[in-house]
């Protein structure tokens, strides 16, 4: 199992999104996701969040919120605990990312772009300002086979 962070940085009505087009063997290849990455040894979720956001964007977060944990289960990839954050404060200048193309996009357009099907669930929970949640999504290939929110099946 691996631990990762994923952050949706907000500016007005837009989120900073990463179009994953630059890495080989990328499980997120061609998809649009927030920014984040894998924990290093001895890092907390917040340590990883701040480091990864800075490495990928050049931005230093000044205001963020821990929203939930997404357990990502796949028949192709190792199980991943994704620590989900939103952020609405930052300093610095956006820079080029070596994992893909960064772009500010209106929240209402996110689901029109290539994404993991389960992302629609947690983006809706964020939009609703839901309390801290645990979401398990199980994929068969790129297809969402099961979704379980706070222990209750939603799909599957």
Residue 34: predicted pLDDT:
92
| pTM for this predicted structure | 0.91
CA gap 96, 108 in Å, rounded: 24
The per-residue pLDDT for range 105-116, each reduced to its tens digit, is 998 888 888 788
Closest CA to 61 of 70, 42, 48, 73: 48
| CATH code of the domain made up of 2-68+81-129 | 3.90.79.10
**Domain segments of the chain as ranges:** 2-68+81-129
CA gap 156, 147 in Å, rounded: 7
Q: What is the chain's Cα-based Rg? A: 15
CA gap 58, 74 in Å, rounded: 31
* Residues of the chain scoring pLDDT < 50: none
Give every CB contact of residue 46 below 8 A, 6+ residues apart in sequence: 64, 66
Residue 45: predicted pLDDT:
98
């Amino acid at each position: 199992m691996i631990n990762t962070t994923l952050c949706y940085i907000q500016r007005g009505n837009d989120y900073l999104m990463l179009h994953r087009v630059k890495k080989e063997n990328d499980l997120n290849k061609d998809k649009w996701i927030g920014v984040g990455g894998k924990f290093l040894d001895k890092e907390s979720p917040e340590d990883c969040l701040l480091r990864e956001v800075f490495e990928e964007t050049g931005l230093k977060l000044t205001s963020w919120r821990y929203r939930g944990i997404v357990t990502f289960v796949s028949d192709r990839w190792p199980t991943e605990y994704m620590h989900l954050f939103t952020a609405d404060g930052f300093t610095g200048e956006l820079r080029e990312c070596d994992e893909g193309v960064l772009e500010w996009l209106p929240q209402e357009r996110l689901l029109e772009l290539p994404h993991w099907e389960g992302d629609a669930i947690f983006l809706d929970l964020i939009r609703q300002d839901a309390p801290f949640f645990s979401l398990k999504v199980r994929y068969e290939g790129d297809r969402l086979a099961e979704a379980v929110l706070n222990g209750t099946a939603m799909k599957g």
